[in-house]
Amino acid sequence: MFGLPLAFATPWLLTALIGLPVLWLLLRAVPPAPIRRRFPGVILLLGLKDDESVMDRTPWWLLLLRMLIVACAIIALAGPVLNPEAQTKSDRPLLVLLDGSWASAASWREQSDFLVATLEEADRQGRSAAILQVTDPQEISFLPAAIWASRVPEFTPNAWRPSKPEVDAVLDALSDTEFDALWVSDGLAYDGRDALLVALEGAGDVQVLQDIGAVVALINLELKDGELVVTSRSSGTVSAPHAVQIIGKDPTGVDRVFAKGSLSYDSNTAEASFSLPAELRGRVSRVTLEGVNSAGAVYLTDDSIRRREVALITPNSAREGLELLSPTHYLKQALIETADILEGALPDILPANPDVIILADVANIAPSEKSDLLNWVEGGGLLLRFAGPQLAASDLSRTTEDPLMPVRLRAGGRSVGGAMSWGEPKALAPFHIDSPFAGLSIPEDLRVTAQVVAQPDPNLAERVLAELSDGTPLVTRKEVEQGQVVLFHVTANAEWSDVPLSGLFVQMLDRLAVISASGSNETASMKGTIWQPIQVLNGQGRLSDGQTLPGVDGVALLDRATGPELRPGLYQNGKNSFARNAVKPDEDLSAFEWPARVSVTGFEKPSTVDLKWILLVAALVLLVLDTLASLFLSGRLRGIGATAALLVGLMTPNVSDAQELSPNELTDEIALAYVLTGDRTVDEVSYAGLYGLSDVLYLRTSVEPVNPIGVNLESDELAFFPFLYWPMTASQPMPSAQAMEKLNAYLRSGGMILFDTRDSDVARFGGSSPTGKRLQEIAGGLTIPALEPIPSDHVLTRTFYLLQDFPGRYASREVWVEAAPPDAEQVEGMPFRNLNDGVTPVIIGGNDWASAWATNTTGVHLFPVGRGVTGERQRELAYRFGVNLIMHVLTGNYKSDQVHVPALLDRLGQ
């Protein structure tokens, strides 16, 4: 009628508006009109006025107000909606299908808001609904749409993408019932999506909701040439770069951002390099895309980026001066860029607990060292051995298998021209598919001229990692509990083969996890191991404790797709860690191409406005106005207004408490004062510090100070204050000559000034800091006696508390006071000297005492001091120093009179 698009969820409630005329008549009749009778005695009441009055008739405007209240309530209960969506009416239920993967997490809040609005609209149409999540399929249950609208916050994205078994479970859950589908898609292609679309279209109309932005994820973090290289991939075009940050733990275990960078995408791929010291690189725990809340935007790290510690042990008869013939020369060249190399004797190396120990042609090991080395291997160490003349000539592992050798060896070895001549040097055979070296390219010119030969054994075949073209083992390995022993049947130098001269040698060491721990992630080394989840990721990229989850087989951890049984996170086996991230480096992140027949929209919320709550609030406001109007007409509003004014007055803070007292009032009260520096922040800290100290004095002593007072040296009288706290700032102005004279008079009359440079460097009065230099400039115009660090028997150490340290927010022990007289001597039997009876006029320090004392008006500390229990103890000592300081100011050196106790006792005895 008025051109406004308006709809009602329950229009039949509007029939209640017919009863408004009846309500009008009822309200007109209440209260009933009084009967008018003339009474002569009423003349006596003329001029009197009642505080409360009752009208004989309700005013028309009050009746109209009450009618408006009832009308608002009726219309609100009818469920009015402004700008309703022009949707096609459907009698079919609505099925909301959520992909629910990590790829949906970035826009999950927008999805939830849209779903709530859509389900509320479906409820207004009287439709039932159901919600089904592909990554967590459950039985479909069609209920009133309003129930599912209230349960939308219960759904969260999972840290894995839909898999084929989960899609099959969803297809099985879809019955022959007809329904319309609202598919909330993550935008990525996956197996079974086409079949799912066909099934939904067979049940009714299908509408797709999908974020128009591309999905981004971190797919790899690797160590290249000493730098961490982060790789990211997107499902589409990304115009703006993404900020990426490297996060790790500091020595206290707190997460810190070690480095930040930017990822600019080119052909859906982006890389960023970070150069970090080895110490920081070993502490890196994860990489994140800043501002993207999804498991795909988090990349957890494991042992693969940690710099390994490799110990090289050589035989005692190593030839000096022949560098290229050294058993460890080529090993050092292969490891020096990527590992920390340790060299020394075996007893010195084992306590360092390196990741790898390499024995280059070491045949004989002392029994005690052998036992320790075996324990190290059993605890998870990798022992890598190389053959050589000494190993070939020894009788090691001839008859029985040595626990520190993977196989038994034949005597003498094998070489060209020897008793077991080959005829020609042998090449390497292609690596077996189960070998950790599988896939490595073997140079064609690589030859082996000599080796140690393994004894035939039933378990020899399963321990061979590499062999020559004639089937002779070249590299063998044996697992020893959690560790392993690997033997190269050739030397570590080029004396027996060309292997150490080739790039293949470096690749083989890497696969064996000698260069980096990445080699430990190979399938061969993961067989038969169980990995316990330590922390797992949810769909929005947050870490949670995973130690309550069951362990996962090592091979499954590498190859199986993530899901409810295998969640992305950090897994551990012994001292080894492995990170299974939400996205693998080779995972496909292609966007799904929807057919043209499918309607795809974004997550823009419907423009409909629910007027129900607006009208209910309006009715409530009108009801309050009605109540106030009724009180006004009855004359009761005046008393209520006075009460409200009184409450407001009581709640208003009394600003006079914060104002300075007059000089006459200061003669009767004790006030701690501070020097105004002109820096508002410093002055506020000074006020809060002395306020907190005043509270402590009030609670612990008989001193009851009033609120602290800021003193202007140029204009205020100082004689009223026994104590001044003067914080130093580098920019505060120099006092004038008159102010200097006033300060000198104040010090001569017994006042005390606590100079605080607030820099924790008070040696030589803080001369090395800007505030210390400013103090020196100001102190040059003051008459300050000779100073010394507080001696252990100074009165300040015992005026109230027994103290030896005087910390504030800092804990420097250099606090300076007036020096003791030269003739001060310690009386026999007393723990301190007979000092003078005056009060030290100045105290100089830099511990920032005001920050340690500072509290607000409710007693809450404003600044941290130290950490944990140690910090609270330091704050307590700061308060005790403040109490001793004020007691010293107020009482002088009365404690020093204890030196006269022996003389007094003698007189009393006489």
Confidence (pTM):
0.50
pLDDT in tens, 31-84: 655 666 776 666 666 766 665 555 556 777 888 888 888 888 888 877 777 765
Q: Are 772 and 846 in contact (CB under 8 A)?
A: yes
> Is pLDDT of 157 > 90?
yes
Q: Give tens-digit pLDDT for 106-151.
A: 889 888 888 988 888 888 788 899 999 999 988 888 999 999 999 9
Q: What DSSP string describes 163-176?
A: -HHHHHHHHHH--S
Peptide bond into 31 cis (omega under 30): yes
Q: Three-state DSSP class for 133? A: strand
Q: Reply yes or no on whether the pLDDT at 349 is more than 50.
A: yes
Over residues 712-749, the pLDDT tens digits come to 988 888 888 889 999 988 888 888 989 898 988 888 88
Q: Which of 228, 221, 375 is nearest to 298 (CA)?
A: 221
Take residue 255 and report the two structure tokens written for it: 């997460």
Identify residue 449 by its one-letter amino acid code: T
Beta strands in 482-542 (DSSP E): 483-488, 530-537
Distance between CA atoms of 77 and 616, rounded to whole angstroms?
A: 8
Per-position DSSP letters for 708-777, written without gaps between them: EEEE-TTTS--TT-SEEEEE--TTPPPPPHHHHHHHHHHHHTT-EEEEE-SSS--TTTTTTSHHHHHHHH
219-250 pLDDT tens trace: 998 877 667 889 999 988 887 888 999 999 88
Sheet with 308-313, side-by-side order of all strands:
339-343, 308-313, 356-360, 382-386, 483-488, 473-480, 464-467
Categorize the per-residue pLDDT at 664 as very low, low, confident or very high, splitting at 50, 70 and 90.
very low
What's the rounded Cα separation, in Å, for the pair 659 and 675? Answer: 16
Distance CA 495, CA 390 (A): 13
pLDDT at 666: 62
Indicate the residue type of 487.
L
Question: What per-residue confidence (pLDDT) applies to 830?
Answer: 56
What are 282-309's pLDDT values in tens digits? 788 999 999 899 999 999 988 777 777 8
Q: Which 3-state string (H, E, C) describes 641-667?
A: HHHHHHHHHHHCCCHHHHCCCCHHHHC
Q: For 767-815, what is each residue's pLDDT tens digit?
A: 568 888 888 888 888 888 888 888 877 888 888 888 888 888 888 778 8
Distances from the Cα of 726 to the Cα of 52, 675, 687, 752, 877, angstroms: 63, 5, 11, 10, 20
**CA distances from residue 764 to 781, 809, 821 in whole angstroms, order as listed:** 17, 20, 21
Nearest to 672 by CA among 688, 650, 654: 688
